[in-house]
Structure 1
Amino acid sequence: MATHRINKSGKRAPPFTRIDNSMLQDARLSFKARGLLSYMLSKPDGFKFYLDEMTKHTTDGKDSIRAGLKELEKLGYVRRYAVKDQRGKILSWELDIYESPSLRPESGFPDVENPTLLTNDNILTNDKRLNKYIAFNSNGNSFVETYLKYFRIKKNKHHMRVTEEQHRMIHDQIEEIQSYGITIEEWEAEVKDHFEKLPKSNNGNIIAFLHAAPRRFDVVL
């Protein structure tokens, strides 16, 4: 059997990417994950990846790409984290890509379980658009209703008000969790564990719980 390669030398050489072979030979990774990582490493440093855009360049759907990212994140090739402004508001989610897990820093990762923003009932800001608080309700979603039930038991009051933007974001993230096949029983078990371990100083905002959802339910949001 012969291997035929493109000529990568000379003035007419096509663009190509040099990748550490150790990643390609990592037997812990599926071929899907290796291909996904190779694609991401072929892009310039600082390139922003969006799930909707990535699906346009492959036959894989969103669920397949999420599974590949989850695999890479678990083995240290990808790190996903929130970028926040000075008030603690999440502006975007970023991905750090590592050609080798050995390049990943050992410390300095943000604690997403109880971010500063979520330990306060109110957000002080001069941006009036962010001060449009509304009552947080389940909209008929059993997952949200379960969380609110345990919140009332723990805090003996209703969940704090949220902005309209936060309300949409919460329901969108829960629908995404449900799309992974997480059952109401699995959700309730994690919610119950969350409130049993919740410090008194934590106000129990559901957004903080959702920040920890990738770790709790082993999914990539």
Structure 2
Amino acid sequence: MGIILTVEKTKPVKGYTIIHNHILNDKNLSFKAKGILSLLLSLPPNPKHLSIELIARKNRDGISSIRSGIEELKSAGYLAVHQINNARGQYDGVEWSLRDTALGVEYLEKKREIPDVENPNSDRPPSGKRGLINTYKTKKLKKQENYYCSRFGRREKPGGP
């Protein structure tokens, strides 16, 4: 026998959040990540004091649990985190960009393909130990350079037969 589900809903007047069903049905997200996403979507735009520690204080989960849920949302494409720098280039905070739809897998793959600009590949060969050089073949070639082929196909030394 299966489960019979009876749902009692109240008509919300204020203080509610509308969440797309595809978020709740997304198999790539754990229940923890879905809950964090629902909580973040329920917040007003640009909350004054938002932090992982504050989210953890208002819930039973600890900081490490909230962090892992945030990382899951980032890897799924629901959340993008950007560092903010001031006019002098110093760290000035973090900006979270939240979406109610995940970025596609194509976008995440393109994001991973961005080359590392700090250490670009150079055309120079890598330093370190190099392979052994066979000097025997080079000596043999130098010795053969002293001969040339005549028009009859014979090898002769320069200056006569």
Give 1:19's aligned residue.
19
RCO greater where, 1 or 2, for CA within 8 Å and sep 6 or more?
1
Shift of 1:89: 1.1
1:35 aligns with 35
TM-score, structure 2 length as denominator? 0.59
Query: Which structure would you say has the larger Rg?
Result: 2
CA distance in 2, matches of 1:100, 1:45: 17
Q: CA RMSD in A?
A: 2.6
Alignment CA distance shift 1:41-1:69 (3 Å):
same
Q: Which has the higher helix share?
A: 1
Measure, in 2, the Cα distance between the counterparts of 1:18 and 1:59.
23
User: TM-score, normalised on structure 1?
Assistant: 0.44
Q: What does 1:64-213 correspond to in 2, within 5 Å?
A: 64-102=65-103, 197=119
Segments of structure 2 that go 5 or more residues without pairing to the other structure are: 123-161
Q: CA deviation at 1:101?
A: 1.9
CA distance in 2, matches of 1:93, 1:45: 15
Instruction: Give 4+ residue runs of structure 1 displaced > 3 Å after superposition.
Output: 197-200
Alpha-carbon shift at residue 87 of structure 1 (Å) = 2.2
> 1:24 Cα deviation (Å)?
1.3
1:69-97 CA-partner distances (Å, limit 9, x unpaired): 01000010011110012221111112111
Q: Secondary structure at the match of 1:82?
A: strand
Q: Which residue, out of 9, 25, 29, partners 1:5?
A: 9
In 2, the alpha carbon distance for the partners of 1:58 and 1:6 equals 24
How far did 1:199 drift?
7.2
CA distance in 2, matches of 1:14, 1:3: 20
